[in-house]
Amino acid sequence: MAPPTGRGRPAVHPGAWWLWSLGLAVAATRTTNPLVLALLVAVSAYVVAARRTQDPWSRSYAAFARLALAVLVIRLVFAVVLGSPVPGTHTVLTLPEIPLPHWAQGIRIGGRVTAEGLVFALYDGLKLATLLICVGAANALANPARLLKALPGALYETGVAVVVALTFAPHLVADVRRLRAARRLRGRPDRGLRGLLQVGLPVLEGALERSVALAAAMDARGFGRTADVPPAVRRTTAALTLGGLLGVCAGTYGLLTAEGGVYGLPVLLVGLAAALAGLRLGGRRSPRTRYRPDVWGARAWLVAGSGIVAAAVLAVAAALDPSALHPGVVPLAAPALPLLPAAAVLVGLLPAFVTPAPEESA
């Protein structure tokens, strides 16, 4: 048996991988061009294939790919069954239409299925699928638990709660499997819904007991120790955090409404700064230190930057030349590959070359 070998410390800050993949995801939202979208998927798949490690979370990419495929199929099925808002002339097939009462006007089941409608649904579904695949890439490349480690000290306890919740689900699944197998030993069928329901209570009991045991272990290991903080600092923290959040709300409101265009951005920025300062000050209450924190080095800048470049170029291109990134559906036209956006997407391949390859398992 070949045990999984060490992955070592991550070569790149997990946050950089998230920025990279979110950059690609933002790029995907700016276009419906199937060629650009396919290129985005190919880029993310290549980087994942080249740089993912042997760890359990690395396998999530396949799950996300399957989910994306399911989204695409569902979108197409809806377009076929429920019709499409896009007018079209090329009828592919005609389904028998189900007559609906008059109050359901505007809804159609069955009827004509046009090529335009299908292509529109395909483009739309592809965009969503690409988005999901990009998020999946981040999941496969960066350990979610390590990302949470990068949270500011004041949010540390929330982070731990999330990590514990993340490990809770796999344990629960393992418990259900074990207990259903045990039903077989009692001479009861181990399949079927009833079997699942009957193990429900023991599974929850087990999960609760494990959580309590973990809480006891964490308490005994010093989780939740607090440092003494002078009252002035405490009050300042509260004021900064609350004031900052209010500022963020007001600023966002200003940005989104037409009249607030002038004060929106500055208020938002000031609010954000105040909230961050509050968090930083709040971190003083926790005496925690970090063991070998991930460093944000040149590689992290390159990885994150490549994703941001892709997003920025596509956003600008979509604003300047919408037709290239949104190929026409009515009338049907073959999509062309716009060169500049395609080149920007290819920049997203950079991480596959600037980061070191993961250690192979022996």
Q: Please give the residue ranges that form the binding site for another protein (CB under 8 A).
A: 1-8, 55-56, 145, 160, 164, 167, 178-179, 181-190, 198-199, 201-202, 205, 210, 213-225, 227, 287-293
Closer to another protein by Cβ: residue 195 or 305: 195
Closer to another protein by Cβ: residue 215 or 233: 215
- Shortest distance, position 145 Cβ to another protein, whole Å: 6
355 CB-near residues (< 8 Å, 6+ apart):
11, 12, 51, 299, 303
Within 10 A of 223 (CB to CB), how many other CB atoms are there? 14
- Shortest distance, position 228 Cβ to another protein, whole Å: 13
- Shortest distance, position 166 Cβ to another protein, whole Å: 10
Closer to another protein by Cβ: residue 110 or 144: 144
C-alpha span between 311 and 262 (Å, rounded) = 26
Closer to another protein by Cβ: residue 7 or 234: 7
C-alpha span between 286 and 182 (Å, rounded) = 45
Closer to another protein by Cβ: residue 17 or 156: 156
- Shortest distance, position 66 Cβ to another protein, whole Å: 19
Residue 56, token pair as written in the block:
């359990």
Provide DSSP, 80-146: HHH--SS--S-EEEEEEEEP--GGGTT--EEEEEEHHHHHHHHHHHHHHHHHHHHHHHHHHHS-HHH
C-alpha span between 223 and 157 (Å, rounded) = 9
- Shortest distance, position 184 Cβ to another protein, whole Å: 5
- Shortest distance, position 218 Cβ to another protein, whole Å: 6
Cα 287 from chain centre: 31
Within 10 A of 155 (CB to CB), how many other CB atoms are there? 15
Closer to another protein by Cβ: residue 103 or 291: 291
Closer to another protein by Cβ: residue 116 or 175: 175
- Shortest distance, position 214 Cβ to another protein, whole Å: 6
Query: Does residue 117 contact residue 88 with C-beta atoms inside 8 Å?
Result: yes
- The closest of 99, 59, 170, 115 to 331, measured between CA atoms, is 115
Rg (CA), the chain: 26
- Shortest distance, position 189 Cβ to another protein, whole Å: 6
Residue 122, token pair as written in the block:
């395909």
For residue 114, list its beta bridge partners.
Answer: 91
- Shortest distance, position 17 Cβ to another protein, whole Å: 18
173 CB-near residues (< 8 Å, 6+ apart):
none
Closer to another protein by Cβ: residue 98 or 295: 295
Rounded-to-5 percentages of helix, strand, coil across the chain: 70, 5, 30
Closer to another protein by Cβ: residue 5 or 89: 5
